[in-house]
Structures are given as structure tokens and as C-alpha cells.
Structure 1
Amino acid sequence: MTKTLPDQLADLIISLIFIRDLKAGDQLPPERKFAERLGVDRTSLRMALRTLGRMNIIHSVQGSGIRIGDIEQDAGLDFLDNLYRIPELELGGRLLISGLELFNQAVPMGMRLAMLRGFETGSSVEYGRTASLVQEMYATVNNGVDNKILARLEVDVTDSLMAASDNLVLKASSTSSRRIRLLLTEKLFELIDVKAHLNHQVKLLYTAREEGVDVELIISNYLAYMARLTQPLRQYLETLPPEPRLISSPLKNGLDIISMSQLS
């Protein structure tokens, strides 16, 4: 689906901030001049800037106009979620490795919370959904379906575990990170034995439902398993250029703007 002009403008500015073409403390041109240089109307630009303001990545400073914030300090999940939605932006190996490290910790955390709750009430429903998704993955593997479909099912399994945790922050993080998890999982499944991974997941699910299980031991073992499983993916990510790059303009007005230097 084609993005609206304000969304395209927001994507462009987000990208320029992320690749450090716009740095913390930089001042944007006055609105009228900025719109003219971008080749857009002021209303669309104003709408885009309002979106960025809600993300806390730009700030209006009285007497100084609009300045860029420090994304290392101020950016939240909404900023990351928007990053993952910009196909013209190569995220760079450094961010992808950071994402991998986080997910390797977050999934066991969600599993731990779900197990401590005993998969009770609504969590029990999520356990059934998780088991059903794993069974669907088995059928998909046996039918020789491509890794993109398998990756979607694996991410659905993770989302189900996060829902079973009944932790709002974990569930919100899971939703915001879904796109990058899909990207990473698709690549991972090119590098590992997916069926062996599924065998491990099934064994884990059954173990998690047993009475008197040592939750901390299971989570410790799963953390070690995830580190081993994703090692080939980490090695691949380390071969990528570490820094992000804007390969084409998210602003589709024919000017192909990928740098503020083009607007001077």
C-alpha cells in the first residue's frame, strides 16, 4: 500500500536521523523553506513533524526552531517500529545484532513469566495456541514450504509466548519488533536445521507443562540453546556493514532525496 505524503516525509526524516545525516542538536530549516526544498506542501510537512514530535525525536525550541533530539536517549519503541517499516533503509549489522541479542533474552523471559503463572486462565489458551502453531510448523516443513512462511509461524509462536506472560511491556515490545524478528528469523532458517529446532521446541513445551518443573533450570538451558542456535546468524550479521544506509528516498516525489546536503 502506498504511503501518504506525510508518512513518506516522516520516513525520510527518521532515516536521515538514524543514519546520522541529521545529528542530535541539528536545527531543521524554517518550515516554509524546508517544504520548498523538499518539494512538498507545508501542511504535509507539518503533519510529518507532528508525528516525529510525538516520537520525541524532534523538539521545538523557542527562538531556535525545531532541533533534532538524541535518539540514543529519547527514542522509544515507536521510533524502532517505524525504522523497521522503511524498506529503503538498510538497518546495518550493529542494530541487527543488538536486536538478536535482545530477542534471545526476551523470549526466555516471556517463557519464564508464563511458566511461573502456570499457564493458568488466559495463559492456558495461549499454551494451546503455541502448541498448535508448532504443529502447523511441522506440517509446513514436511510440505517443503519456503522459509518466509516458516519464519512467520515461528514469530507467531514467540508472540504467543509473550501473550502468555501477561506482561503488557513484553507484549508491546513483541508487537513493535515483529518486522525485524521476521527478517532475522527468515535468515536464521536458511542457516539451521529447522526440523531439529522444532523437535527442541516440542520437547520444551511438554516439559514446561509438567508439574514440579525447575523453571530456572529450563530457562537457563533455553538461554544457552538460543545462543547456540543463533550463532550462525550472528556470524552472518557480523559480515554486514555495521552502520545503516539509505539506499533510496522514502519520499516518492522524483527528487530522490537521501541527504540533507541535497537541500542546501
Structure 2
Amino acid sequence: MAKTLPDQIADLFIALIFTGELKAGDKLPPERQLAELLSVDRTSLRMALRTLGRMNAVNSVQGSGIRVCNIHTDMGLDFLDNLYRIPELELGGRLLLAGLELFNRAIPTAVKLALEKRRRDGITDDGRMLEMVQAMYQSVEQGRSTQELARMEVDIIEALMEATGNQVLQASANSSRRIRTLLTEKLFELIDVKQHLTFQVSIVMKARQASEDLDELINEYLQYIEQLTEPLYEHLRSVPEEPRLVSSPLKNDRNIRSWQQVLAGPDAPLESVQLVKPIS
């Protein structure tokens, strides 16, 4: 589905903040001027700024104008969720490695929480997880694409998050679905997926045994995840660290990829763009 103009404007600002083109404390031009600089109508700009305000990307203070917030201290999961939705943006190796490291720790933790909840509540395993893994195994046998298999793997992880009953974990999983899918697609290009699923089945079967020591099981799973994703770690270390805006999320004829291009305005000659300084 094509994005609305307000969404395109918001995506542009999210990308400019993430790439460092806009920094914490930078002041935006007045609304009327900013609309002219972007070649957009004020209503669409106002809607985009409202969206950015809700995710603490910008802050409007009476008498001080609109300033960019701090990406590290002010912005949260909703900013990241929107960040992952921008196909024109290359996220960079630093963020992808940070995401992989976090997911490698979070998934075994979720397994432990889900098992503890099941045993605490006396819930009998309904076999749903095993069925999902087996369905994915059949898809491998049928030669499905890595993209399809990655989506199935992510569905399994989200079912696991749901089984924990922890709303924060579930919300985090929802917000990170796109980057997890991206990482899983690349991982499946580098590993033997069928072998991975064989291990998954063995873990699920062990987890169904009430006598199984949870800490030992989680430690086994954690070690497996670290070993499994080592090829992906190696790949991501070869990716440029810094994010890059390949093309403009704002779909007009200007292809805006920097804050300097915005400030130069629609009528500025190309050679003058590099001479324009951000507003302080």
C-alpha cells in the first residue's frame, strides 16, 4: 500500500534523525517555511509533525519552536518500529548487530518464561509450537523461499512471546518484527535450515517433559543460538556500520536525502546544496 504524504514526510525526518543529519537540539524552521522547503502543503506537514511528536522524535515548545529530540534518551519502540518500515533506508551494520545480540538473549529468556508460566499455571502443552515447527519443516521439504521460511520462523517466535503472557515482551516483539524478519532471511541464506529445525524439534520435545531442568535447557538453547548465528555475525561485521538513505522517502522530484538539501530549498542549484548549514 502506498504511503500517504504525511507518512512520507514523517519517514524522511525519521531517516534524517537516524542517519545523524538532524541532531538532538536542532531547531526546525517555522512551519510555513518548512512546508515550502519540502515542497509540501502545510496540512500534510502538520500531520507528520504530530506523528513525530507522539514518538518523541521532535518536541514543540511555545515560544521556542520545534526542536529535534535525543534519539538515545527520548525515542522508544515506536520510533524503531517506524524506522524499520522505511525501505529507502539502509540500517547499517551497527544497528543490525545490536539487534541480533539482543534477540539472541531475548529468545532463550522468552523460552524460560513461557515454560515457567506453563508449569506454574499447570497448563498442558497443546502441541501448537511443535505443529508450527513441523509445518515449517514441510515447507523446507517443498523448497519454499528463504523469505517464506523466515516469516514462519518469526511467527514461531511470536507464538513463544505470546506464551510468556508478558505484555512488554509481546510489544517488543511486535515492534521488532521487521528487523527480525530481515535478519532471519539473511541467516537462512547462510545455514542449513533443515538441520536448524531438527534441533528446534528436539528442544520442543525436551521442553514438554516436566522433569526437564529449565536452566540446563535454556543454557543449551543459548549456546545453540550463539553458534547458529555466528555466520550472520560475520556477515554483519562486513556491512558498513553507518546507516544510509539510498533514496528519499518523500516521493517528489527532488530526491531529498540530506538536511542540507531541505534547507537549500526547491529552487537552489545543485552545487549550492553543500554550502548550506543547519539551523542551530
TM normalised by structure 2 equals 0.91
- In the TM superposition, residue 61 of structure 1 has moved relative to its aligned partner by 2.5
Deviations 1:205-252 (CA, angstroms, capped at 9, x unpaired): 010010121111111111111111000001000000001000000000
Aligned to 1:245: 244
CA distance in 2, matches of 1:220, 1:213: 12
Aligned to 1:105: 105
Q: Is the 8 A contact 1:123 1:163 kept in 2?
A: no
Q: Structure 1 residues 236 and 259, CA, compared in 2 at 3 Å: closer, same or farther?
A: same
Give the 3-state SS of the residue equivalent to 1:51 in structure 2. helix
Aligned to 2:272: none
CA distance in 2, matches of 1:196, 1:263: 50
Q: Structure 1 residues 193 and 247, CA, compared in 2 at 3 Å: closer, same or farther?
A: same
CA distance in 1, matches of 2:122, 2:88: 40
Give the 3-state SS of the residue equivalent to 1:117 in structure 2. helix
Give the 3-state SS of the residue equivalent to 2:211 in structure 1. coil
**Percent identity among equivalent residues?**
60
Q: Structure 1 residues 223 and 43, CA, compared in 2 at 3 Å: closer, same or farther?
A: same
Aligned to 2:135: 136
Q: Is the 8 A contact 1:114 1:123 kept in 2?
A: no
Q: Which runs of 4+ in 1 moved over 4 A?
A: 119-125
* Aligned-pair Cα RMSD in Å: 1.4
CA distance in 2, matches of 1:192, 1:100: 16
Range 159-168 or range 116-125, more displaced: 116-125
Q: Is the 8 A contact 1:119 1:164 kept in 2?
A: no
Amino acid at match of 1:217: E
Matches within 5 A, 1:83-232: 83-118=83-118, 128-232=127-231
**1:42 is aligned to 2:42:** yes
CA distance in 2, matches of 1:95, 1:183: 12
CA distance in 2, matches of 1:221, 1:249: 45
Long gaps (5+) in structure 1: none
- In the TM superposition, residue 77 of structure 1 has moved relative to its aligned partner by 0.6
Give the 3-state SS of the residue equivalent to 2:66 in structure 1. strand
Amino acid at match of 1:55: M
Long gaps (5+) in structure 2: 264-280
Q: Structure 1 residues 240 and 261, CA, compared in 2 at 3 Å: closer, same or farther?
A: same
Deviations 1:145-197 (CA, angstroms, capped at 9, x unpaired): 11111111111110011000010000011111111111000000011111111
Amino acid at match of 1:95: L
Give the 3-state SS of the residue equivalent to 1:72 in structure 2. coil
Give the 3-state SS of the residue equivalent to 2:134 in structure 1. helix
